[in-house]
Amino acid sequence: MSRAIITPTGRPLHGSPKLPGDKSISHRRALLSLYVDGDVVLENYSDGQDCQTTLSCLERLGKRVERTDNRVVLTGPAVSSNGELDCGNSGTTARLLMGILAGREGEWILRGDESLSRRPMERVADPLRRMGAQITTAGGRLPAWISGRKLHGIAYDSSLASAQVKSAVLLAALSAEGVTRYHEPFPSRYHTERILGISADGEGWITLDPARTRVETDRLSAVVPGDPSAAAFWVAAVVLVADSSLEMRGVLANPIRLSYLDALKSAGVRVLIRDEYASYGETVATIEAQYSPIGCFNLGRENVPGVIDELPVLAVMSACSDGISTFHGVSELRRKESNRLQLLAEGLTRMGALAEHDEDSLTIRGGALHGAEIETHGDHRIAMAFAVAALAAKGNSVIQDVECVAVSYPDFWEELDRMVPGSVKIEL
């Protein structure tokens, strides 16, 4: 396991970091190719391991997958009707595949790595069983055994705001008999709906009628925009390091995915979204950010689904602000690639902030941070969030398990060293 020594050089960040293609959109467009036989061409497909895992699963299912740099071509029918699928570290791969396979004839086993095998799967298996699926989990976790069969539509009022659960049900609904209706307590990211051409009504119910929802090959091909969740680390870094500024072009500007910028604006940070244009059913834009004083955050349960992947970096920013920030309704952070709530509180406390958490909330009193040794438990977003904290701290920090960033952002350390030369040393 390698570690990164981060040295806050005091030099500002400038430039335009290279971003991976959006992870959620890469997964969805690739997985939806299972519903068509023609060529699906995806440009700027995410080079993160999670999205490569999705491609390997598609290959196992019999799709032909050609990869050249970040261009992926998916062809032909999924011919395999049984087998084991290794979902690696990727919750999106496992949960969306569960929805897709539950309604197809065949027998499959979904497996995951150590981290994914600790994450809850009943949240997906339960609504799918109500649709008639036969799924057995290992005590609510992976491995999961799926015996695919014809499903029927349901009305499901979910207690969780989760895009993965919602997408699994909608993908299952595509091949089910009859209409499916789905509701969640607060809106989560809605890329699946956008690709399928459906949306929530005024009361938040999403209706999918398989007789009217056709997945068409030419509507799946796309240029994947830059990942705004990867961009968040750079926005945070320039806001925290004196005299920094940057510009990122071609970033996915779907409003729910830019909720973290709204949170920053309400904490007094100046960020600009400009040059917006429509691209393959989404909005894409340029994000401009610069060094800025930062106030406190006060996020409630209703804000959490929109910033679910940016909470680690928002927590880091709050630790660098003067005052007390509160994050309510964040228990889902315990169920991500690691127990993020605990790792954030521990790491930020080590760096000199006062961070406390209970089952469902996180409170941080910010101040001047100092360097520390940080455990990541192999969680990519924890590693990158603490790299940002380390840049804004006094003295060197050590970040463990640095390879884990490859899950979503393989070039992160190179880009960091390019943005702030001399700030990163990787020790094998």
Binding site for ligand S3P (CB under 6 A): 24, 27, 92, 162-164, 167, 188-189, 308-309, 332
Closer CB to ligand S3P, 47 or 309, in the complex: 309
Distance between CA atoms of residues 309 and 410, nearest Å: 17
Closer CB to ligand S3P, 184 or 401, in the complex: 184
The amino acid at residue 386 is F
- Least separation in angstroms between residue 393's CB and ligand S3P is 26
Closer CB to ligand S3P, 133 or 163, in the complex: 163
Distance between CA atoms of residues 327 and 303, nearest Å: 9
Q: Give the other-Cβ count within 10 Å of 218's Cβ.
A: 10
Q: Give the other-Cβ count within 10 Å of 44's Cβ.
A: 22
- Least separation in angstroms between residue 111's CB and ligand S3P is 19
Furthest-apart CA pair in the chain: how many Å? 61
Tokens of 297: 């955050």
- Least separation in angstroms between residue 4's CB and ligand S3P is 22
113 is annotated as an active-site residue? no
Of the candidates 91, 89, 90, 83, which has an alpha carbon nearest to the alpha carbon of residue 145? Answer: 83
52 three-state secondary structure: helix
Closer CB to ligand S3P, 337 or 401, in the complex: 337
- Least separation in angstroms between residue 243's CB and ligand S3P is 32
- Least separation in angstroms between residue 381's CB and ligand S3P is 8
Closer CB to ligand S3P, 54 or 175, in the complex: 54
Which residue in 47, 50, 309, 401 is the catalytic one?
A: 309
C-alpha to C-alpha distances, 189 to 7, 54, 254, 285, 309, nearest whole angstrom: 35, 19, 9, 18, 11
The amino acid at residue 301 is R
Tokens of 63: 């799709």
- Active site members: 309
